[in-house]
Amino acid sequence: MLGCIDTYYSDRGARTALVLFEHWTDAAAARELIHERQADTAEYVPGEFYRRELPCIMDAIAPIVSSLETIVIDGYVTLDNSGRKGLGAHLYESLDRRVNVIGVAKTSFVGSDGIEILRGNSRNPLTITPAGLTAAEAARLIQQMAGDHRLPTLIKRADYLSRHGR
């Protein structure tokens, strides 16, 4: 199973949405899961974003983690070519390197070693960073995802669900 995941924060806590699908070209989810985390969500600390988001993601994927092959996150796996870890690298390690992680970032990070891709008619690239796959393979997979716009349809769906619920 493949999945796209995103977390939204409010003063009441965090909502993490997981959109599951079977094939990279799927335009619709096979299943959608939403996990609510109450006020025990960690504060944001610059440079340590993973400390805030990783517990939310781990809670959300717990019921299906054994069936996951690859998970797509909103953000970076690695931050630069020195190997500085982003959220995706921490997730990959937390999953004992058994689930591939692809980071899809909408904003560039100075020094990033990611591959930039253009989708749809957008002139703004997405930056792709992986763990468990080569960068070229991860970029190819994200490029083939359904949707005519910059962000693939299922990544946008995870973002929507995290912000609004069902």
Q: What is the pLDDT of residues 85-108, one digit of tens each?
A: 999 999 999 999 999 999 999 998
- The CATH number of whichever domain residue 14 belongs to comes to 3.30.2170.10
* Cβ atoms of residues 58 and 68 within 8 Å: no
Q: Cα(161)–Cα(166) distance, rounded to whole angstroms?
A: 6
Say if residue 128's pLDDT is above 60: yes
End-to-end CA distance of the chain: 21
- Show the domain range for 95: 2-164
165: Cβ–Cβ under 8 A, 6 or more apart, which residues?
A: 15, 34
Q: How far apart are CA 81 and CA 74, in angstroms?
A: 19
Question: CB of 154 within 8 A of CB of 20?
Answer: no
Give the residue-averaged pLDDT of 140-153: 97
The pTM of the full predicted model, rounded to 2 decimals, is 0.93
**Count of structural domains within the chain:** 1
